[in-house]
A and B are shown apart, each in its own frame.
Chain A
Amino acid sequence: MSHALRADQFLLDADRTTWHDETLWFVREKRDRAVYAVPEFQALRELASQIKDHTLSRLDRYLQEFEAAAQANGVHVHWAADAAEHNAIILAIIRQQGATRIVKSKSMLTEECHLNPYLLQHGIEVVDTDLGERIIQFREEAPSHIVLPAIHLKKEDVGDTFHLHLGTEKGESDPQRLTEAARQHLRAKFLAGQVAISGVNFAVAETGGVVVCTNEGNADLGVNLAQVHIACMGIEKLIPRLTDLGVFTRLLARSATGQPVTTYTSHFTQPVAGKEMHVVIVDNGRTQQLGRPDFRASLKCIRCGACMNTCPVYRRSGGHSYDFTVPGPIGAILSPNIDMKKHASLPFASTLCGSCTDVCPVKIDIHTQLYKWRQVLGEANEIPASKKWSMKFMGRLLASARVYGLSGQFARKALRFLPHGLTHAASFNAWAVARELPEPPQQSFREWYQQQPKPVPQPPQPQVPA
């Protein structure tokens, strides 16, 4: 199913769509206020972009530097070529511990690898501890946003879910009381947790440590109470130096939610004596993306979600319409690298307005990459026949002044007597589903111009010597 068809489902509830649109725009406005308060914000974006470019240009070296430093800290480092290997490594660690109680803080990578269903198949239940993630886990849904996983839900939906799973009063929809119920429920899970899985926001090559940013404190609480910490990271999470965090911590939360910084910016470097820390370094298509010059900049992403909050298509189609772990503009340039056929419609889920590129804290040229993926998809014959042939037809038509002029003449006449049901037929004119065609003019600009009196040619002015 294409993005457009899934978006149709989302759009069935007009009030909710409007709410979703306005709520995310509100987050974008908060981002703007936070950004404008930092005079050097644009310089920081440029620095972040350069640091990430540099890191990718020496990625193999930094990966080894990180590994050596982490091992020197007593951390177990694992390498996973793909999602299956990532999942198998984690299962093996859990089994080695004989653990059954697993808590997990937010990690888009484990979502990408479908870790939870895999572990469930092997008899191990994982409790997602981020509030938004726990809500959607109860509902057996995927996150619809990388920072605000339950942004597609209203508080009444959460109330119903908690009534069902946590026994809160029926009809309870007060966010304060619902959050308190989740706090009590999850506290028991934290206290009992044996293995804690976390994502990684930044991995510092120099120190071998990983940095995890949360507002709720769920990563810290889970990791620091469990016997074993497993941190899962894509290879692109690396940064060279500890001081580079100065740049990224100033950009991340401001870009994401408009906060000056996340509540907890936690640096996990060594396990406590007697406990274990593991880092799983995952490729899963990333080195392939690194080899695509047009698209490798997508690996600079720090997962702030600013491109989603600002995107006019994301805001009005919802995260689930992308059917990919990372939705929105950045997801639309990451997903075709994973499965071009399945995600072929995503680079078209954009107006190419460029707002995503404008807000990206690491200056990824997102809308340019969306355009380039369209070319790749066209070449690979992964676009629908109707789009392919109409584009070919329009290309021919617009390339010839004579054909263009004749078509214009024809259309101006034909549109006067063709029935509305034909010109606006949804089956072949998706553009007109919610729009009216303009009134056809009597003549084209060219025809009008030719009727105007010819201007008298002026003699050339004599050149004045300098």
Chain B
Amino acid sequence: MKICVCIKQVPDSWSQKQLDPESLNLDRNAADRVISDGDVFAIEEAVRKAEQFDGEVTVVSMGPSRAVDSLRKALALGANHAALITDEGLAGADALATSLVLASYLKSRDFDLVLFGSASTDAGMGVIPSMVGTRLKVPTLTMALSLEIEAGIARVQRISGSGTDELSAPLPVVVSVTDKTNTPRLPNFKAIMASKKAEIEEISLADLGLTPNLESFTKVHSQTLRPPRSAGRIVDEAGALSALEDFLIAEKFI
């Protein structure tokens, strides 16, 4: 079974994020960079399925050259191969352009299973898995609580409104997982050392047969940062009840 995990290197979710004031693209220098939280569960699920079906896991990321750090981490977590799609033409790519690049790569490699984490912690649009599945013309099973594969059929449990549904489709499929899907393992020392020396394939837009000027379908015109909430009144426990009641009355909540 050929499995691919698409990961994204993002600013740390504890840090404050912003757009670069000049380009209005995400300012990736302004914050620490880690693998998007949800992607770690996708890597783990890929490695588990590879163990179960004697398969191979490739991890791919699209981004600047420093994204190799995240790819090495994915290798340490058990992926077999890593590829970085990097090109000057990718700067500021929107969701539609990103999905085109990923789908072009995935098409050229004939994967049985493509895994994504849940929405990235930076842009967080949550549209990429469905866009990639649509471009590959394969079913997309999203927000999996669990993923089972049996006799070439993928089955996913998924929360939907007030219940849980079961989605199933024959391979190849695109699946996005959640933090409920599994408990990721920690990398061991040997794997970390090996990942540092591993070869990472670099791929350009031309390698994928794409033009260097990717069309973005959306445009950001301006940004305004929300002013921080200013602190109001601080009251200790003794004055709490009357302060609370007065506030709720003054603001007409009661």
Asked if A and B bind, the verdict is no
